[in-house]
Every structure is written in C-alpha cells, then in structure tokens.
Amino acid sequence: MSRIGKQQLNIPSGVEVTFDAHAVRVKGPKGEITRDLRDDITFKNENNIISSTPRRNDKFSRALWGTYMSHVKNMINGVTTPFEKKLLVEGVGFRWEVKGTDLQLSLGFSHPVVMAIPKGLTVTTEKSALTISGIDKEMVGLFANRVRQMKKPEPYKGKGIRYSDEVIRRKQGKKSA
C-alpha cells in the first residue's frame, strides 16, 4: 500500500480543486494548473480534504496511487507559493541575460545560445545567478535542467552552470615533476 496515497491533503483557503473524468484542475491565487490523469485512481473532495483510492488492486494502480497524490500536492503548493530553482554560472566570459521571451547564454561557444523561456515561467538574472520560478514544479525543474545541460560544471576548475545548492567534487590536475 502506498504511504503517500493513503495520506489526506488539506486544501488551503483560496484554492479550488476540481476532478473531472480524466483530469485534475487546481486554481489558486498565483494561477491555474490542469493535469491529465488516468482513471485508475478515484479522488474525493470532502470538506476541503482530498483522499484517494485505487479502482483496482493491481500493481500498476498502486504505483499510480502515490504518484498522483504527489502531483496533486505539488499543484496545490504551486498555486499558493511558486516553485523556484537557482542556477549559478562560473567561468571567464560566461554570462546570461533575458531578452524578451528568450534567455541568451554566452558560454564560450563561437555563438550565443538562445533558449525560449516556456510560457508560465519567470526567469530573472543577476550577475552570475539565474532564478527560474513558476507554479508548475515539473516545468521549473525541466527548464532548469535544460539550461544546466548547455554547459555542465567540469571537475577541474568548476566552470559551467550548476544549481546553487550543488557541490562539485574537484579533481586534482596534472602534477608537475
């Protein structure tokens, strides 16, 4: 049995959760999120408390039970307080800037790398820090990972793009005789 699926979620004031046949919609002060779900799990919303049960007792339904409850919990948390990821860039000449709906990266390539910022995310840049925030946890994490993939941090000098809480294990370079 799923420990996460058995838990009940409290809906904070100002948040509205509705379950359709194959989707869940969460509307709150920061925005609205809709996610398509399979019909293997039944949801109940009674007195601002969400509970769920699997329709069948097979392995696949039990696996989705906790996953879907986590998705609903993240959606509720996202519409009340947006999710945020911070990235840092290290290296000589490495920088980034937001131009309209694009993020322009200068990472030592012969050309600047331009990435389109997905709709629903806000990206702010400082000197060497980039902050990505939005109400959808999955979208924030995916875009932060796509930015990081452009220039992963290397272990010798630590140059590249890394998360703010990430620790890069340094390697010793060549030894001189």
CATH fold match for the domains 3-80 and 83-163:
yes
CATH superfamily of 3-80: Ribosomal protein L6 (3.90.930.12)
Q: How far is it, in rounded angstroms, from Cα 132 to Cα 150?
A: 16
- Do the Cβ atoms of 11 and 80 come closer than 8 Å? no
pLDDT along the chain (177 residues), means of 10: 85 93 92 92 92 90 91 95 96 92 93 95 94 96 96 92 93 81
pLDDT of residue 176: 73
DSSP SS3 for 171: coil
> pLDDT tens for residues 150-170?
999 999 998 999 999 999 999
Tokens of 111: 């050309």
CATH of domain 83-163: 3.90.930.12
What stretch of H or E contains 59?
helix 59-80
Q: What's the gap between Cα 4 and its chain centre? A: 19
Residues in Cβ contact with 7 at an 8 Å cutoff, skipping those fewer than 6 apart: 69
pLDDT of residue 97: 94
pTM score of the predicted model: 0.90
pLDDT of residue 86: 97
What stretch of H or E contains 139?
helix 137-149
Taking every pair of Cα atoms in the chain, the longest distance, rounded to a whole number of angstroms, is 74
Domain boundaries along the sequence of the chain: 3-80, 83-163
